[in-house]
């Protein structure tokens, strides 16, 4: 009876954690898993992420970002096309830049925050367009402070180890990040990544990106003036 109670409590804990992940908007896929993560009806932009091994058909007018067989190269192909993907392929609807590819052999080139750095594997063609980044986090750091993004991030962990923290205050979900983990973060999902003794190298795809001041220059924010309580 006691063990059942304990089991029920553990089960509740798992359920609560699952609920938090759902409420805050994060999905994790372990290395080796096979799944398709699709845009939610509430998303502004449509995408479909194919995790694991898939034959992906890309229609005219769409494009696909995917990793090469050894995950040490990245490809961008416009539809119509078909690609064989073994790690992660993400189709973005209604965006069709030129085909391109890059190896992922060198390190990052741009300073980021808190000792982190990045490289634009595929920069945004125009401000606000999708972009594929390479994010390096050294040991014992955090990727920014807790933050949100206005568009979806589909993140593939290339090497190393880290922790994803999602939620607010005492209500957070932590999840280990290691080689092959895929993490899908919904818009406005409060999160950050952390590292311990190992660095973390991951590849975030921005399902459309940000344009700087434009996101801060709107009536709700500009028209709000903080006062003492
Ligand atoms: Fe982030």
CA of 68 to the centre of ligand 1 (A): 24
Helical ranges in the chain per DSSP H: 2-24, 219-222
> What's this model's pTM, rounded to 2 decimal places?
0.89
CA of 3 to the centre of ligand 1 (A): 40
d(CA 185, CA 198): 23
Closest CA to 110 of 135, 140, 73: 135
CA of 52 to the centre of ligand 1 (A): 23
d(CA 26, CA 7): 25
The 63-67 sheet, strands edge to edge: 35-38, 47-51, 88-92, 63-67, 73-78, 100-103
Sorted by sequence, the CB contacts under 8 Å of residue 152 that are 6+ apart come out as 39, 43, 45, 47, 184, 185, 186, 187, 206, 207
Helix (H, G, I), strand (E, B) or coil at 115: coil
The pair of three-digit structure tokens given for residue 229, joined into one six-digit string:
């309580």
| Predicted local distance difference test score (pLDDT) of residue 2 | 46
Q: Which residue has the tokens 């999602």?
A: 166
Strands 110-111, 81-85: pairing is unpaired
| Predicted local distance difference test score (pLDDT) of residue 44 | 96
Closest CA to 17 of 179, 174, 193, 204: 174
| Predicted local distance difference test score (pLDDT) of residue 136 | 96
- Report mean pLDDT in 10-residue bins for the chain, 229 residues: 50 63 94 96 97 98 96 97 97 97 95 92 96 96 85 97 94 94 97 95 96 84 89
CA of 18 to the centre of ligand 1 (A): 20
| Predicted local distance difference test score (pLDDT) of residue 4 | 47
Task: Respond yes or no on whether the N-terminal peptide bond of residue 80 is cis (omega within 30° of 0).
Answer: yes
| Predicted local distance difference test score (pLDDT) of residue 1 | 45
Closest CA to 166 of 26, 13, 30: 26
Cβ atoms of residues 61 and 107 within 8 Å: no
CA of 177 to the centre of ligand 1 (A): 14
CA of 22 to the centre of ligand 1 (A): 17
| Predicted local distance difference test score (pLDDT) of residue 113 | 87
d(CA 200, CA 138): 7
């Amino acid at each position: 009876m006691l063990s059942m109670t304990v089991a029920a409590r553990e089960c509740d804990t798992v359920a609560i954690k699952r609920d938090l992940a759902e409420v805050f908007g994060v999905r994790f896929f372990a290395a080796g898993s096979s799944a398709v993560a699709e845009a939610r009806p509430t998303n502004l932009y449509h995408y479909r992420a194919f995790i694991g091994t898939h034959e992906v058909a890309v229609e005219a007018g769409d494009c696909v970002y995917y990793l090469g067989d050894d995950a040490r190269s990245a490809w961008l192909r416009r539809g119509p096309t078909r690609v064989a993907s073994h790690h992660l392929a993400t189709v973005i609807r209604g965006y069709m830049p030129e085909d391109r590819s890059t190896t992922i052999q060198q390190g990052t080139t741009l300073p980021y925050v808190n000792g982190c750095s990045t490289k634009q594997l595929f920069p945004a063609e125009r401000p606000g367009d999708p972009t594929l980044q390479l994010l390096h986090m050294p040991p014992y750091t955090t990727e920014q402070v807790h933050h949100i993004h206005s568009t979806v991030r589909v993140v593939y962990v290339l090497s190393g180890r880290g922790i994803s923290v999602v939620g607010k205050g005492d209500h957070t979900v932590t999840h280990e990040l290691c080689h092959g983990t895929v993490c899908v973060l919904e818009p406005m999902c409060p999160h950050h990544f952390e590292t311990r003794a190992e660095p973390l190298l991951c590849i975030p795809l921005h399902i459309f990106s940000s344009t700087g001041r434009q996101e801060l220059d709107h009536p709700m924010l500009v028209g709000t003036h903080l006062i003492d309580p």
